[in-house]
Structure 1
Amino acid sequence: MEKYLIGIDAGTSMVKSVVFDDEGNELAVGRQKTTVLNPRPNWDEQDMLEVWEAVVITVNEAVAKSGVPAKDICAIGVTGQGDGCWLIDEEGEPVRPAILWSDGRAGDLIARWQAEGISENAYKILGSALFPGVQAAIIKWLDENEPETLAKSRRALYCKDWLKYKLTGEITTDETDGCVPHFDIAKRQYSEELLKMYGTVKYRYLLPPVKTPLENYAPLTDEAASLLGLPSGIPVVGGPFDVIATATGVGAIHPGDACSIIGTTCFNEVVMDGPYIEPLNVGFTMCHGFAGLWVRAMGVMMGTPNLDWILAQVGRTYEEEAAKRNMSFYDVVEEHVKGLDIGAGGIIYHPYLSASGERAPFVKPTARAQFFGITATHNRDNLVRAVYEGVGFAMMDCYQYIPIKINRVRISGGGAQSAFWCQLLSDMTGLPLEVPEGSEFGAKGTALVAGVVVGLYENIEEAVKKTVRLERQYQPDMEKTKRARAFYTLYRRLYEHVWDDWDLLQDILMQRF
């Protein structure tokens, strides 16, 4: 009898459930959008029950589309957005809407921790830079601004932990989610010293028990099984969280393997055989999903949304041309911009669109996106090209701070669908890039972990060998790489020069005239 796996990936704005066969083929996908709430400027929240309902809808949709008999589903893997704070009470109900990784309300708190040396001291234990969306900052902000919320709370979870709880009734987290911001990263366990630094020792009880992803499973409850139309009792695995699950799903499981996710974020990560944290005070050092492995990562807050934004401003004529020529919108856009040299005719773009600032390779809550070098000779093609390149410069910036020999870079996310962008990123970074077959790599990664748990694969190495195949490869043009490196020097100097000006802008905006 054939066996199948379900991978659930609860992203920031979309929940996806995918049915996989044992060779890693995506048989069917269910998708459901979820709402990011913005009750105040710089606040990003989510209705926890809406996310759970989206899981129920998408699992049912994916299984129905696949045609796979429910009895042949042998395990479920759950992954989701990382960081943030998903609070539940004694009854296991949401205390308030989840506060997301992208939320900026704790920006002033992070600035205070930086000024007081707390961030720097924490980094020596944690190996990761603190930013407004980490759980410790959110808990401390709630302590100072919503203490009644914490008084009602039993546990502080992450997205995938909340969903695993709804599926199994078990409250846990895994090493990949739990490590930032509460771990002694070398020991892979909670650090009481960090809690003292953050001033959150009295909320120690909120932190759930930690397991490795291969240990973090429990049986699907009768109630959840009834909602999903699946057999009760099958294992539900929680983790790894989305970026680590994606690394697993594209096959980045050995030291030196790299993975870049060109999606909502521009997330760049390299697998390591030790908890290496240098250079200090930049980026993140996290647990991989497997013993003896860590990940060094730099996650730019926004990736493809930069392109969405610029095309929303100047894309009308591209749309009209695409309709007239019966072509894809993005094919028309890329036809226009691919003829321009790296440097976009002298325009530099910094892709710091997030209202909560930037977190990699530097933490700056007031950082903002900006164009530099525009003249009357430039047009929309130059601006759009500069935005494509801006994400590439951010990717270069991240890998600059990951001093580890890279074997290969696997690319995923919406940006990986663009052959033009993939080649541009290879040219800019000077790195060979590989695009695996498939599209839902976060769901795939957590499904593979679930497959190991139930014995479908002997170990994760066998799972990757059996299920990960390459679709496309790109080699860099080193002459273009030289040009990109020259502009990258300017890219960095520019944001260093306006560092304090970002703060001044924030101060002016906060004033009442």
Structure 2
Amino acid sequence: MRYLIGIDKGTTMVKSVVFDEAGRAVGSAEERVAILSPRPGWHEEDPDASWQACCRTIRGAMADAGISGDQIAGVGIAAHMGGAWIIDGEGRPVRNAICWPDERAQSLLTRLEGRGALDEVFAISGNGLMPGITLMILAWLNANEPEIRNRATAVLCAKDYLRFRLTGVIATDPSDVSFVPGDIDARTHSDRLMTLLGAEGWNAMMPDILPSGAVAGEVTAKAAAETGLAPGTLVITGCGDAVANVVGAGRSRPGEAITVLGTSCLNSLIIDRPGREPAGLGFLFAMPDENYLRILPNTSGTITMDWFLDHFGGIRDTKGKWDFPAMERRVAATPRGADGVLLLPYVNTAGVLAPFYDPRARGSFFGMSNQTTRDHLMRAVYEALAFATRDCLAAMPGAIDVLTLTGGGARSAFWSQMFADVCRIPIEICTAEQTGATGVALMAGVAAGIWPDLATAQKATLSISARFEPDPAASAEYDDWYGLYRDLRNVYRGFSESRSQLLEEVRP
């Protein structure tokens, strides 16, 4: 039997998963990514350290599956999008990688907004801007570290860097180009956007664009020694994690909706043209099959849960890990609406990109008293992400009849039912748990000849494992709390600019 490896390099974790020819995950390994923050609001990685972590997960996944590298037919890589992984002529990183949650370019973005440039950016790319996208990072480097450009030969995204270390091939794919951002209609880089955003001089360093499922190269002898893969193993171009998750959830037809309940909560709708509704908000990404993915994201997805548990604690199991079933039993015993405590879950330093645009927005608990317990706060966290998803889905063009929920949060039946009740639509859970890794593994399987095309691969390997119908009584109760949630986010938006100005006065 032949096997496939899908690698999903996330913002906080890198995972490698081994799949058999039936699409079943038979081995996996993951490792936390070391995040560097040399200054407040900065989010960097040591590229070499992240590569070594990736190597260890590849070896670990094969060991878990009980197979050797020569049984792997193909490898696919997905990763978080945006940011900048810059290398020199020898293939060495010229500095730490800068990743998408980074906010160092916020002042540049504010000036662009003041000049009225965002409308043209959206018209070309279909994307709203955030400080951590590639061109904003390159503009910041031009202004603050100009020597970097003199040493650089290529600007890569995260998955492109890992694939470069595997194969020695410098390339990217249309999905990652979408978030650089590029020209979404032409599916290529945009010289106009580079000039408009202040990223002049980097044009020649943008990599060639290959189809997402194309064979980009083969595992080199050096990479084979580091990973345990066999030299010559084919590696596909891969794609950004937002697109890989949709493919791995078995969704490919226009009109299908998917929410990835991960670090960011990506609320997505597949469309057959590069539509830009609602104007000025969210993202528009190229998919492998010539369709497009319209995304209205809550940038603060499960990162909100991580933040709460890391700082305020929770129940742990005997191995010291978070005991989510035990915590959910306590949350379930707390009334809907958490006795009047609501959370605006805007804890990501990227701010809010949908259903309104405010990169300065930050989160806040509301309604606390001396009777408020940690269980109330915890329930407010769960409900906030469901409210934020409904908020984004309501702004999508067209009605959504059913929503596929994926990501780590989708493993919770309690949370999935809450999403159904809050959003008032059925929630479906697909069989694949690691949808990002699954998506690129299926594409690698097509390239290796295991399946004739992606649609066949999805049909042969993926199905729905659970479905949650909305409870009418719960939905009616949540409607009132959701109304208050929307009122709160509208009021708090007015404080974003004042807070930002005060911070600028006290920060050097």
Compute the TM-score of the two structures, normalised by the length of structure 1. Answer: 0.94
2:273 aligns with 274
1:490 aligns with 484
Q: Counterpart of 1:444 in structure 2: which amino acid? A: T
2:307 aligns with 309
Q: Counterpart of 2:38 in structure 1: which amino acid? A: P
1:461 to 440, 448, 455: 455
1:404 aligns with 398
Root-mean-square deviation (CA), in Å?
2.1
1:176 aligns with 175
1:202 aligns with 201
Q: Counterpart of 1:476 in structure 2: which amino acid? A: P
Given the alignment of the two structures, is residue 476 of structure 1 paired with residue 467 of structure 2, yes or no? no
Question: 1:402: how far off?
Answer: 1.5
Question: 1:72: how far off?
Answer: 2.1
Given the alignment of the two structures, is residue 439 of structure 1 paired with residue 410 of structure 2, yes or no? no
CA distance in 1, matches of 2:71, 2:110: 52
CA distance in 1, matches of 2:223, 2:349: 37
Q: Secondary structure at the match of 1:246?
A: helix
1:189 aligns with 188
Q: Counterpart of 2:185 in structure 1: which amino acid? A: A
Distance of aligned partners of 1:55 and 1:214 in 2 relative to their CA distance in 1, 3 Å threshold: same
Q: Secondary structure at the match of 1:345?
A: helix
Q: Which moved more, 1:74-83 or 1:302-311?
A: 302-311
Q: Counterpart of 1:305 in structure 2: which amino acid? A: I
Q: Counterpart of 1:178 in structure 2: which amino acid? A: V
Q: Secondary structure at the match of 1:173?
A: coil
**What CA deviation, in whole Å up to 9, does each residue of 1:304-356 have, x standing for no partner?**
2322333445545x55xx78xx9983223222222444322222211111234
**What CA deviation, in whole Å up to 9, does each residue of 1:373-427 have, x standing for no partner?**
2234433322211111111111111112211343532222221121111100111
2:33 aligns with 34
Q: Given that residues 177 and 187 in structure 2 are in contact (C-alpha distance below 8 angstroms), is that contact kept between their aligned partners in structure 1?
A: no
2:343 aligns with 349
**What CA deviation, in whole Å up to 9, does each residue of 1:202-229 have, x standing for no partner?**
2211211112212252122222223222
Question: 1:170: how far off?
Answer: 0.9
**What CA deviation, in whole Å up to 9, does each residue of 1:263-296 have, x standing for no partner?**
21111111111111011011111111222x0000
Q: Which runs of 5+ in 2 are unaligned?
A: none
Q: Given that residues 431 and 475 in structure 1 are in contact (C-alpha distance below 8 angstroms), is that contact kept between their aligned partners in structure 2?
A: yes
Q: Given that residues 211 and 237 in structure 2 are in contact (C-alpha distance below 8 angstroms), is that contact kept between their aligned partners in structure 1?
A: no
Q: Given that residues 155 and 205 in structure 2 are in contact (C-alpha distance below 8 angstroms), is that contact kept between their aligned partners in structure 1?
A: yes
Q: Counterpart of 2:275 in structure 1: which amino acid? A: Y
Q: Given that residues 129 and 282 in structure 1 are in contact (C-alpha distance below 8 angstroms), is that contact kept between their aligned partners in structure 2?
A: yes
Number of aligned positions between the proteins: 506
CA distance in 1, matches of 2:61, 2:382: 33
Q: Given that residues 126 and 181 in structure 1 are in contact (C-alpha distance below 8 angstroms), is that contact kept between their aligned partners in structure 2?
A: no
Q: Given that residues 103 and 131 in structure 2 are in contact (C-alpha distance below 8 angstroms), is that contact kept between their aligned partners in structure 1?
A: yes
1:212 aligns with 211
2:385 aligns with 391
Q: Counterpart of 1:286 in structure 2: which amino acid? A: F
Given the alignment of the two structures, is residue 450 of structure 1 paired with residue 449 of structure 2, yes or no? no
1:425 aligns with 419
Question: 1:14: how far off?
Answer: 1.5
Question: 1:443: how far off?
Answer: 0.8
CA distance in 1, matches of 2:120, 2:384: 32
Given the alignment of the two structures, is residue 499 of structure 1 paired with residue 493 of structure 2, yes or no? yes
Q: Given that residues 282 and 401 in structure 1 are in contact (C-alpha distance below 8 angstroms), is that contact kept between their aligned partners in structure 2?
A: no
CA distance in 2, matches of 1:90, 1:363: 38
CA distance in 2, matches of 1:404, 1:50: 44
**What CA deviation, in whole Å up to 9, does each residue of 1:141-168 have, x standing for no partner?**
1111111112211111000000111111
Q: Secondary structure at the match of 1:423?
A: helix
Q: Counterpart of 1:460 in structure 2: which amino acid? A: L
Q: Counterpart of 1:297 in structure 2: which amino acid? A: I
Q: Counterpart of 1:100 in structure 2: which amino acid? A: C
Q: Which moved more, 1:194-203 or 1:295-304?
A: 194-203
Q: What does residue range 126-137 of structure 1 map to in structure 2 within 5 Å?
A: 126-137=125-136
CA distance in 2, matches of 1:467, 1:407: 24
**What CA deviation, in whole Å up to 9, does each residue of 1:224-280 have, x standing for no partner?**
223222222221012121121111111111111222111211111111111110110
Q: Counterpart of 1:302 in structure 2: which amino acid? A: S
Q: Given that residues 119 and 280 in structure 2 are in contact (C-alpha distance below 8 angstroms), is that contact kept between their aligned partners in structure 1?
A: yes
Q: Counterpart of 1:474 in structure 2: which amino acid? A: F
Question: 1:472: how far off?
Answer: 1.5
CA distance in 2, matches of 1:313, 1:512: 24
1:360 aligns with 354
Q: Secondary structure at the match of 1:5?
A: strand
1:11 aligns with 10
CA distance in 2, matches of 1:280, 1:512: 35
CA distance in 2, matches of 1:261, 1:173: 23
Q: Given that residues 173 and 208 in structure 1 are in contact (C-alpha distance below 8 angstroms), is that contact kept between their aligned partners in structure 2?
A: yes
Q: Secondary structure at the match of 2:70?
A: helix
Q: Counterpart of 1:394 in structure 2: which amino acid? A: A
Q: Counterpart of 1:306 in structure 2: which amino acid? A: T
Q: Given that residues 283 and 359 in structure 1 are in contact (C-alpha distance below 8 angstroms), is that contact kept between their aligned partners in structure 2?
A: yes
Q: Given that residues 9 and 242 in structure 1 are in contact (C-alpha distance below 8 angstroms), is that contact kept between their aligned partners in structure 2?
A: yes
Q: Counterpart of 2:189 in structure 1: which amino acid? A: Y
CA distance in 1, matches of 2:215, 2:258: 24
CA distance in 1, matches of 2:325, 2:434: 23
Q: Which moved more, 1:492-501 or 1:235-244?
A: 492-501
CA distance in 2, matches of 1:121, 1:375: 46
1:246 aligns with 245
> Following superposition, which runs of at least 4 residues in structure 1 exceed 6 angstroms of deviation?
none
CA distance in 2, matches of 1:480, 1:345: 15
Q: Given that residues 362 and 496 in structure 2 are in contact (C-alpha distance below 8 angstroms), is that contact kept between their aligned partners in structure 1?
A: yes
2:258 aligns with 259
1:297 aligns with 295
Q: Counterpart of 2:443 in structure 1: which amino acid? A: V
Give % identity.
Answer: 35
Q: Given that residues 272 and 294 in structure 1 are in contact (C-alpha distance below 8 angstroms), is that contact kept between their aligned partners in structure 2?
A: yes
CA distance in 2, matches of 1:376, 1:53: 48
CA distance in 2, matches of 1:42, 1:512: 15
**What CA deviation, in whole Å up to 9, does each residue of 1:486-511 have, x standing for no partner?**
33232222222222312212222333
Q: Given that residues 284 and 294 in structure 2 are in contact (C-alpha distance below 8 angstroms), is that contact kept between their aligned partners in structure 1?
A: yes
CA distance in 2, matches of 1:136, 1:464: 34
**What CA deviation, in whole Å up to 9, does each residue of 1:120-177 have, x standing for no partner?**
2110111110001110111111111111112211111000000111111110000010
2:75 aligns with 76
Q: Given that residues 171 and 210 in structure 2 are in contact (C-alpha distance below 8 angstroms), is that contact kept between their aligned partners in structure 1?
A: yes
Q: Secondary structure at the match of 1:102?
A: coil
Given the alignment of the two structures, is residue 508 of structure 1 paired with residue 502 of structure 2, yes or no? yes
CA distance in 1, matches of 2:374, 2:181: 45
Q: Secondary structure at the match of 2:487?
A: helix
Distance of aligned partners of 1:380 and 1:64 in 2 relative to their CA distance in 1, 3 Å threshold: closer
Question: 1:115: how far off?
Answer: 1.4
Q: Counterpart of 2:273 in structure 1: which amino acid? A: G
CA distance in 2, matches of 1:177, 1:93: 21
